[in-house]
């Protein structure tokens, strides 16, 4: 009994020490610069219910999306090596890096737009870091180690069988979950079925994929299980730049100083003069980054709204209006009218320009991908001394021409030898020339027939121009090696 009491006192001291932070010091470090682990208390409220609806939807979407097949293809697959992008059953072949660049920049400007209007809404509501920690890792941790105070108490205990058991169980489950998240992530790049069959084989047969999955598992395990809020505070590049994207009109989670101050218990303040803040520290106890929002908007705040729910609960109990901490803007807090601001308009315009360029280039792409694949079986055929050949020896090489073409712009291309003198020396027969590019992928047979004398040491390299019939301009040049017997 007295041990429990001592433990509780220690915990209270530890928490209270955290409340007395030097404003110049990070909320998660002690005076010596060592990390102070945060064990945020559970909170209930309308904002939590809304957030968790969104979180579970995102987790479900992430885990299930690659397994939904449309037209026999995963609903989302990014095949980097084949340069193929599959979305909702349609595949774009030969996707050029410029298209990915345009999409990426458009996405970045869209996030900048969201930030300038809604503050760090991405951090609190959509970032995988927050979503996985809140929905899965913290839940597992509290199921095994108990509530906030019990977890803090366990941390302070010396190693014993109970602590060893709980920590081993927790990290074991963390590993399984991280591995599943990592496998799903890799599934977006190689395909979920393909990945499933790979996992049935020995790791040595797919060493690259195995290594990538293990590295990702380790990153997720350490980040979601241990590093947590430190990533948001000191490592996340978006966290660093968000303050320059926001202004006094942006929505932030903020404490209403006018209404809350002076707080209860402040020296020299009588009861009547007190504001609504009762100095209960509930808002600090639930904060996953360990900050006191009453000190103003801080870089560490990820806009998770936990402090809003905690404070609303206190206000309900005190029969005071909710919203001492709320989503608002600095302008609103000062009681001023919203100022005209061109910044969000600029960000969304740039985002729309880049995404429109993406679709324009996608549809207007005139760069089909042509691959010459040598036919299976004998690499060449020799027609010797027949009447048809006039006593000459002729060689035939057969190829399959694989063509990939993205976009909806249909046009014709034709193939021509780069060296015009070869036109009379090599007969190029192709089942379709000019070739109509009206489907994403097609295969044609192509034969080259030529006099054996053309070969040098059994081979001859030729270059074939791929020419756009519309403008007559060169699209690409292909190198083909013709082979025959070595004399
Ligand atoms: S939860 Fe509300 S009342 Fe309690 S300390 Fe925070 S702001 Fe003040
Ligand atoms: S201050 Fe509030 S909104 Fe910001 S991180 Fe802490 S709990 Fe979340």
Q: How far apart are CA 414 and CA 411, in angstroms?
A: 10
| The pLDDT value given to residue 125 | 94
Contact 447, 415 (CB under 8 A): no
Q: Parse the chain into domains and list their residue ranges.
A: 1-363, 365-483
In the numeric block, which tokens belong to residue 218?
């380790």
In the numeric block, which tokens belong to residue 88?
């909702």
Q: Is the shortest distance between the CB of 282 and ligand 1 below 6 Å?
A: yes
| The pLDDT value given to residue 22 | 65
Which helix (H) or strand (E) segment is 148 a member of?
A: helix 148-156
User: What would the DSSP string read from start to end of 50-95?
Assistant: HHHHHHHHHHHHHHHGGG-EETTEESEEEETTTTEEEETTEEE-S-
Nearest alpha carbon, ligand 1 atom 6: 283
CA of 462: how far to CAs of 181, 420, 446, in Å?
49, 11, 14
Q: Is the shortest distance between the CB of 301 and ligand 2 below 6 Å?
A: yes
Cα–Cα nearest to 288, from 118, 128, 138: 138
Q: How far apart are CA 45 and CA 307, in angstroms?
A: 10
Model pLDDT for residues 238-270, shown as the tens digit of each residue: 888 888 888 889 999 999 999 998 888 777 777
Listed as ranges, residues in the chain with pLDDT below 70 are 1-24, 93-96, 363-366, 385-391, 406-409
Cα R_g (the chain), whole angstroms: 33
For ligand 2, the distance from its centroid to the CA atom of residue 154, given in whole angstroms, is 25
For ligand 1, the distance from its centroid to the CA atom of residue 325, given in whole angstroms, is 8
In the numeric block, which tokens belong to residue 214?
């293990």
Note the pTM of the prediction, 2 decimals. 0.76
Ligand nearest to the CA of 280: 1
Contact 418, 392 (CB under 8 A): no
Its CATH architecture, for the domain 365-483, is: Sandwich (2.60)
| The pLDDT value given to residue 12 | 46
Cα–Cα nearest to 64, from 175, 216, 187, 174: 187
| The pLDDT value given to residue 20 | 57
Contact 449, 394 (CB under 8 A): yes
Ligand nearest to the CA of 304: 2
Q: Note if the bond before 434 is cis, omega within 30 degrees.
A: yes
Q: Is the shortest distance between the CB of 65 and ligand 1 below 6 Å?
A: no
Q: Is the shortest distance between the CB of 324 and ligand 1 below 6 Å?
A: yes
| The pLDDT value given to residue 131 | 97
Q: How far apart are CA 105 and CA 365, in angstroms?
A: 19
Ligand nearest to the CA of 311: 1
Nearest alpha carbon, ligand 2 atom 8: 304
* Count of beta carbons in the 10 Å neighbourhood of residue 223: 19
CA of 457: how far to CAs of 187, 422, 478, 480, 484, in Å?
47, 18, 22, 16, 9
For ligand 2, the distance from its centroid to the CA atom of residue 27, given in whole angstroms, is 12
Q: What DSSP state is assigned to residue 261?
A: P
């Amino acid at each position: 009994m007295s041990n429990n009491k001592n433990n509780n006192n220690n915990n209270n001291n530890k928490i209270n020490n955290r409340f007395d932070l030097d404003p110049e010091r990070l909320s998660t470090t002690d005076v010596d610069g060592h990390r102070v682990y945060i064990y945020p208390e559970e909170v209930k409220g309308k904002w939590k219910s809304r957030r968790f609806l969104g979180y579970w939807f995102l987790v479900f979407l992430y885990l299930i999306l690659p397994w939904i097949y449309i037209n026999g293809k995963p609903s989302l697959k990014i095949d980097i090596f084949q340069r193929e992008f599959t979305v909702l059953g349609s595949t774009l072949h030969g996707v050029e890096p410029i298209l990915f660049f345009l999409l990426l920049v458009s996405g970045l400007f869209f996030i900048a737009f969201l930030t300038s209007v809604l503050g760090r809404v991405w951090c609190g509501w959509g970032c995988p870091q927050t979503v996985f920690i809140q929905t899965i890792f913290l839940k597992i941790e509290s199921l095994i180690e108990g509530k906030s105070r019990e977890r803090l108490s366990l941390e302070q205990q010396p190693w014993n069988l109970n602590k060893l058991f709980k920590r081993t169980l927790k990290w074991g489950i963390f590993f399984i979950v991280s591995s599943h998240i990592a496998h799903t992530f890799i599934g977006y790049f190689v395909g979920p079925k393909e990945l499933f069959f790979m996992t049935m084989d020995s790791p040595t047969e797919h060493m690259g994929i195995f290594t990538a999955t293990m590295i990702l598992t380790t990153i997720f395990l350490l980040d979601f299980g241990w590093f947590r809020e430190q990533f948001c505070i000191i490592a996340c590049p978006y966290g660093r730049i968000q303050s320059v994207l926001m202004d006094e009109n942006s929505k932030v989670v903020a404490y209403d100083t006018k209404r809350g101050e002076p707080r209860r218990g402040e020296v020299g303040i009588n009861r009547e003069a007190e504001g609504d803040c009762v100095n209960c520290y509930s808002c600090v106890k639930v904060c996953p980054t360990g900050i006191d929002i009453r000190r103003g908007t801080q870089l560490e705040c990820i806009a998770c709204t936990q402090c809003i729910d905690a404070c609303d609960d206190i206000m309900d109990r005190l029969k005071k209006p909710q919203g001492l901490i709320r989503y608002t803007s600095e302008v609103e807090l000062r009681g001023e009218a919203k100022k005209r601001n061109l910044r969000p308009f600029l960000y969304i315009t740039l985002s729309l320009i880049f995404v429109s360029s993406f679709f324009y280039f996608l549809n207007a792409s005139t760069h089909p991908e042509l691959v010459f694949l040598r036919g299976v079986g004998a690499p060449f055929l020799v027609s010797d001394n027949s009447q048809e050949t006039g006593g000459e020896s002729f060689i035939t090489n057969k190829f399959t021409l694989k063509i990939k073409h993205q976009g909806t712009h249909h046009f014709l291309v034709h193939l021509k030898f780069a060296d015009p003198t070869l036109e009379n020396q090599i007969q190029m027969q192709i089942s379709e020339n000019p070739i109509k590019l009206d489907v994403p992928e097609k295969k044609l047979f192509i034969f080259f027939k030529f006099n054996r004398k053309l070969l040098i040491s059994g081979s001859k390299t030729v270059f074939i121009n791929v020419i756009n019939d519309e403008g007559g301009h060169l699209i690409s040049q292909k190198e083909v090696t013709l082979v025959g017997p070595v004399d």
